[in-house]
Structure formats: C-alpha cells, structure tokens
Amino acid sequence: MKKNLFEKVWEAHSAGRLSSGSTQLVVGTHLIHEVTSPQAFGMLRELGLPVRCPERTFATVDHIVPTHSQTEPFSDPLADEMIRELRGNCADFGITFFDLPSGKQGIVHIVGPELGITQPGTTIACGDSHTSTHGAFGAIAFGIGTTQVRDVLATQSIAMEKLKVRRINVNGRLAPGVYAKDVILHIIRTLGVKGGIGYAYEYGGEVFNRFTMEERMTVCNMSIEGAARCGYVNPDETTFAYLKGRPYCPTGEDWEEAVAGWQSVASDPGCSYDDVVEIDAADIGPTVTWGINPGQAVFIDESIPDPETLFNGDRETAQEAIAHMKLRPGQPIAGTPIDVAFIGSCTNGRLSDLQEAAHYLKANGHRVSPGVKAIVVPGSQLVSALAEKEGLDKIYSEAGFEWRGAGCSMCLAMNPDKLVGDQLCASTSNRNFKGRQGSPTGRTMLMSPLMVAAAAVTGKISDAREVFGVSIAGSE
Amino acid sequence: MPLTKISNIIGRGIHLPGDDIDTDRIIPARYLKCVTFDGLGEFAFHDERFDEEGQKKAKPHPMNDERFKGASILLVDSNFGCGSSREHAPQSLYRYGIRAVVGVSFAEIFFGNSIQLGMPCLTLAKEDIQQIAKAVDQNPATLIEIDIAASTVTCEGEVFKAGQPEGVRSSLVEGRWDPIGELLENSEGVDTVISALPYMSRG
Ligand code: SF4
C-alpha cells in the first residue's frame, strides 16, 4: 500500500484508540514556552503527576522577552513573573531550558530546527499554532492548547482526530524578487483562510524541491493561517544536509540509520491524497496583505478590492477590513504610507531573511525614510550571532534600522515592541489581525523581508524589485 | 477521572456576528501575561468593547449591552476562533459565563480547546443561527436549550438539528470530555510506540 508521509508518521505514533473515537497519538518532541505552559504545569501539580518524558521536552522563552535589552529584571513585572515561572518549572521537572544566558534562546520555532531537535518523521507539539513551521523537515507538527500541553507533559500523548491530506504542488520558477513568503500568502489567498480546516498540507513541486530549509519553514509556518493544522515538505537531501552536525542530531552510525529512516518516511511516489491543488509559480508576484486576515492580500501592482464585488461573508469581512485599515476600495496598494517596518518573527526571522534585505540595502546605500521606525529582530540568539559575524547588524544600523535582540518582538504585543495608535506597519510576521501588534487600532500589512525593506526606505508600500533594482542574477 | 456529564444546557443567548473572528480579538495578547487562567473573563473581547481609556466604545458591542448580561450561549458565524492556539480564548469566554457556543463553523484548535474545558461547540446552518439571533435580539429573555445527546438546539419551540462529531457528543454526555484519564491508563501503549521509534528510544 502506497502511503503519504502523514499516514506513515500517524501510524508509527498511534498508541491506540480512545473511547471518543480519537487516536491516542504519541508526541515525540514537545516544545514549550512561557505563555502557554504555566497553567499546564499548575494542572499537573494539582493532579500530582510527574512529567512523563522530560528528556523529550524542550523549553525556551520568546514572547515576553524585551528585545532592546534582555537583562533581567525586565521593566514589566508580569513578564518577569512568567520567565521565573518557566525557569522554576523546568528545574523542578528536569526539562532542558534554553534560557537567556544559554546563547540558544529564541523563538521556539527557530530554536528547534537550528539545534537539530526538529527531525523528519517525528511528531512535534507545542502550545503555539505556528508549530506547523517544523513540518518543513517532514515532521507532523501542530499547535495544541494548554490543557493538551498538560496531557503531553503527563502522558507524552494527546487525543487527536486524524487529518486529511491536501497536496499542494507549486511548479515552474518564481520570478526574481518573489519569495517563499509570497508563495504562502498566495496559497492562502487562493485556498482561503478557512480552506485548510481538517487538513494537513503537503507542499511539493519544483519550487519546493529547490527551496532551502529556511524557505520551506517560511511556508510551513503560515499553514495555520490557511487553517491547516500542520503543513509539511517531504524530507530530501536538502533536509539531511541542513541537519547534519546540528547539536541534537544523531552522529556516526546513528546518523546513517536515521537518514535511512527519514528517507523511508517520505510520501511514496504515486500515493494518494484527499485533495490535490496545482499552482503555477509564474502566477505569483510580490504579495501584500491589505486586510485583517492573511487571506486578504493582493500583488504589489494590484488595488484594494471593492467589497461590493465580493460574496457573502467575504464582503462583510472586507468592509470591516477596509474601515479598520483606513483604505479606499480601488486604491492601489503601492504608495500606502507606513509608520513602522518590522523584519523578524518565526516566519521571517532567520539568517537568510536578514541576509536578503541587508544585501540590497548595502548594495544600494539606501536609508530608512525619515519618520519611519524600522526594527530588525533576529529570531534567536544563534541567528543574531551569525548575522553579527557577517556584519549584518552594521549594515542595518547604517541604513537606519534598529538592530535588536532575539524574541517575538512586534509580531505580537507581549513585550515592549508595540504599535501606537493607528500606526501602519509593514511586517514580515504572519498575522494581520486587528490589534495583533499591540494597538487596537494599529494596522498591519504582511509581506516578505525585501518588501518591508523597500517600504522602510521609501516610507510607503513599494515594489522592492523597482526600489532595489532586483535583477535576474539577484534572486532565484 | 470522574467528570461532569454534560447533556443539557439552557440559557439566554448572545449573538456576535462576523466570520473569521480570531483569538487575538477574543483575548488580546497583552492579557496572556498571566500564569493562571483566573480572572480572564473580564477581558473577553476587551478591545472590541473598550477604548484605550477603558471606557465602553461608542460602537455597540453585544457584550456591553445590559440586555444580554448573564447570557450563557454564544451565537457566532463561521471559522470562529481562528488564529492562535491560546486556550486563553475559550477560557476567557468560559469565565465570562459562556457555557456553549453555537456557530456555522469553528477553527480546529479553538474547538478542541473548548471541548477539553467542557464548553461544547455545535454547528448550525447560517440561516438557523440568524433566526435564533433574531429571536434573542427581539427578546433577550428568550431561552435557548441545547440537548447534547440529541444534538439539537431548541429556541421558541423550534428544534434545530445541530452538528458535532460523534466522539465529541458521546464524550460530553458520558463525562469523558477530558481525555487525560484514558491517556494515562494506556501507558503501555505509549511505551510500545516509544520503543519502536529510534529517535525516542535512542535517548
Ligand atoms: S514570532 Fe509571532 S507567531 Fe511566531 S511564535 Fe512568536 S508570537 Fe507566535
């Protein structure tokens, strides 16, 4: 029987059927952070239970960490309480914690992969919806609620319904200046923000075969924005080359054995899917969101749609979005003035993201437009160290960006980095929900790192290809 | 682990119209700075209800409307609870006083989180929700009755057939909606899986 990766991993991790009909699924790797774990530890203590597999649980702190200075105590006593709570819980239960002084702290979805904790053929759960990121390695990785974090801590398993699998092929070549971020924004725009309910997305095709691991992560990260609980790419040589030598990866004979296992877990050629979608890479352009969900997006040369031309629920949501974003139907998206530019988050806070924008900023000697606040936030301390070694911090600082420490920063408002009033932010993050960036009236437009850089230097939403003269040689 | 059996929920309704209402709206991120869920109730939909000074917004919000005070059945549209996995979202609704949500459709993680805290989420056709919402709006004292076992929602004598996965229905009715007891019981099954997986057993 030919099987896809999801089916193989699901079967290998099934421990039985529960009376509700759900599967008891073993969670191979459990990642935790400060926001969604304290209550779970509280419940565990109430039940008087130990952590079943502390060696399969890894913790980091990301959401509440200030990025201008990581020194404790933080200015916010609530944030302080949360990091102390996590530290205490990890110490009490024997869990590895990539704490601030470790040099390994960062956004949980950046830390797992770069340390080699994220591996093909595994199940990964975390109390965070962007756990889908780890699917880039051919893992079945998904977000869970806090009560389920308790379940994993106590039993290393959860109750879960099997998902259907939708294969999404992106074939052809992306035009220069079109990035992984544009691919996923385009997929969400095409299939809708509800399109993935009940599905895992398997991404494939020529574009994904050529993608680096970091690009695959950007796409898988936003699977949840299209309502798919998880998204993955089959493991291949690119995956193994990325993982080789990472601290938590097997070595020697174990490595050979692991690679053989990882190869066998990939979807079998000719296996079946519940649905297949074909997308032509040539149809994808630099994409910008104009609304209050990630599906409300247009290409940089398009205009804000007229809600009257949309149907039912879409029309109402569009009306609400246009009112919140203070836009006019029919107005071109290019030229919209911005106040803030943010490069970072678990979607686009990895080294290659920071390199790409820095490359063009340096080559052109561009500077951030007066009146724009621009910040660059590496996704982890390791990313930060690598970027600084290459001098990216200097390139950004010279261009007028603030270079920050690792954390979630302006992706969401649990640290000092927040929008003020109705500021409009060109952002590489993944959610443009009302209030997401800290001000209830704040406005977010999602796009690729290079598009954010272009908006930063021009002071308005702009086509990065024009601003930076992106040539065929400059991009794949 | 003995749990309450959830079979009948009777209460007044409150309608929150709109598709794709995300968890950032249900509970804004700054209220996630907490180490317990206690006290989250008052922050449900905070930024939709209150301005920056904490005053009720000029734009009416059903949760600010005295007429719907004490309502325990939330009526919503499609893809309710999309976005983050934060259990703070259903927890804040529960602590606000909501005991069941009836909507056109729900985001998966929100749905699972809600069930695991014993707050059923049932689906109804959009027209049915609109009809019930209209009744509630005209007379906020209107009682809505949810029969979990029969998967029905009754309002003003009319019985609507609601949707919920069979496993969820039976686990609510039989008081097994928190799976931890069963998960703990099958420890051996977990061991078997672990020992067959090199990455877990390699240590
Ligand atoms: S960067 Fe944003 S989306 Fe990613 S984990 Fe942090 S808050 Fe969540």
Residue-range domain boundaries for chain B: 8-195
Identify whether the C-beta of residue A52 lies closer than 8 Å to the C-beta of residue A155. yes
Name all domains of chain A by residue range, CATH numbers in brackets.
Answer: 5-275 (3.30.499.10), 286-468 (3.30.499.10)
Q: How far is A432 from chain B (nearest CA, A)?
A: 10
Neighbours of A150 (CB within 10 A): 26
Q: Is the pLDDT of residue B11 over 50?
A: yes
Q: What is the mean pLDDT of residues A440-454?
A: 97
Closest CA in chain A for residue B192: A15
By percentage, how much of chain B surpasses pLDDT 90?
Answer: 92
Could you tell me which of B114, B96, B86 has the C-alpha nearest to residue B171? B114
Q: What is the mean pLDDT of residues A139-158?
A: 97
> How much is the pLDDT for A20?
87
Angstrom distances, CA of residue B118 to CA of A143, A158, A385, B110, B114: 20, 17, 46, 12, 6
Instruction: Choose which CATH entry (3.30.750.210, 3.40.50.720, 3.20.19.10, 3.30.70.270) describes domain B8-195.
Output: 3.20.19.10
Q: If you measure from the C-alpha of residue A405 to the centroid of ligand 1, how many angstroms do you get, rounded to a whole number?
A: 15
Angstrom distances, CA of residue A385 to CA of A382, A406, B34: 5, 10, 31
Question: Model confidence over A309-332: pLDDT tens digits?
Answer: 988 778 989 999 999 999 999 999
> How much is the pLDDT for B53?
87
Instruction: Give phi and psi for A57, each to the nearest 5.
Output: -115, 135
Residue nearest to atom 4 of ligand 1 (CA): A346
Identify whether the C-beta of residue B25 lies closer than 8 Å to the C-beta of residue B47. yes
Strand A23-26 vs strand A287-289: parallel, antiparallel, or unpaired? unpaired
> How much is the pLDDT for A180?
98
By percentage, how much of chain A surpasses pLDDT 70?
Answer: 99
Could you tell me which of A204, A184, A154, A208 has the C-alpha nearest to residue A429? A184
Question: Model confidence over A96-125: pLDDT tens digits?
Answer: 999 999 999 999 999 999 999 999 999 999
pLDDT band at residue B2 under the 50/70/90 scheme: low
Q: How far is B30 from chain A (nearest CA, A)?
A: 5
> How much is the pLDDT for A476?
42
Neighbours of B195 (CB within 10 A): 10
Question: Model confidence over A218-275: pLDDT tens digits?
Answer: 999 999 999 999 999 999 999 999 999 999 999 999 999 999 999 999 999 999 999 9
Residue nearest to atom 6 of ligand 1 (CA): A408
Mean pLDDT of chain A: 96
Could you tell me which of A261, A27, A21, A278 has the C-alpha nearest to residue A151? A27
For residue A23, the surrounding DSSP H or E stretch is strand A23-26
Question: Model confidence over A186-207: pLDDT tens digits?
Answer: 999 999 999 999 999 999 999 9
Closest CA in chain A for residue B81: A227
Question: Model confidence over B14-47: pLDDT tens digits?
Answer: 999 999 999 999 999 999 999 999 999 999 999 9
Residues forming a β-bridge with A341: A374, A426
Instruction: Give phi and psi for A119, each to the nearest 5.
Output: -135, 155
Identify whether the C-beta of residue B168 lies closer than 8 Å to the C-beta of residue B121. no
Q: What is the mean pLDDT of residues A362-371?
A: 94
Q: Report d(CA B147, CA B162) in Å as an integer.
A: 9
pLDDT band at residue A90 under the 50/70/90 scheme: very high
SS (H, E, C) chain B: CCCCCCCEEEEEEEEECCCCCEHHHHCCHHHHCCCCCCCHHHHCCHHHHECCCCCECCCCCHHHCHHHCCCCEEEECCCECECCCCCHHHHHHHHHCCCEEEECCECHHHHHHHHHCCCCEEECCHHHHHHHHHHHHHCCCCEEEEECCCCEEEECCEEEECECCHHHHHHHHCCCCCCHHHHHHCHHHHHHHHHHCHHHHCC
Using a 6 Å cutoff on CB, does residue A218 contact ligand 1? no
Q: Report d(CA A166, CA A191) in Å as an integer.
A: 11
The DSSP call for residue A210 is H
pLDDT band at residue B159 under the 50/70/90 scheme: very high
By percentage, how much of chain A surpasses pLDDT 90?
Answer: 95
Instruction: Give phi and psi for A233, each to the nearest 5.
Output: -125, 140
Does A129 sit within 8 Å of B189, measured CB to CB? no
> How much is the pLDDT for A472?
53
Q: Tell me if chain B has a CB within 8 Å of the CB of A146.
A: yes
Does A12 sit within 8 Å of B193, measured CB to CB? yes
> How much is the pLDDT for A474?
42
Q: If you measure from the C-alpha of residue A314 to the centroid of ligand 1, how many angstroms do you get, rounded to a whole number?
A: 26
Q: Report d(CA A119, CA B167) in Å as an integer.
A: 32
Q: Give the list of residues 6+ apart from residue A3 with CB closer than 8 angstroms, or none.
A: A11, A267, A268, A271
Using a 6 Å cutoff on CB, does residue A128 contact ligand 1? yes
Q: What is the mean pLDDT of residues B59-73?
A: 95
ipTM, two decimals: 0.93
Q: Report d(CA A427, CA A420) in Å as an integer.
A: 15
Q: Is the pLDDT of residue B191 over 60?
A: yes
For residue A374, the surrounding DSSP H or E stretch is strand A373-376
Question: Model confidence over B83-108: pLDDT tens digits?
Answer: 999 999 999 999 999 999 999 999 99
Q: At what angle are helices A180-191 and A213-221 packed, to 10 degrees?
A: 30
Q: Report d(CA B119, CA A185) in Å as an integer.
A: 33
> How much is the pLDDT for B1?
56
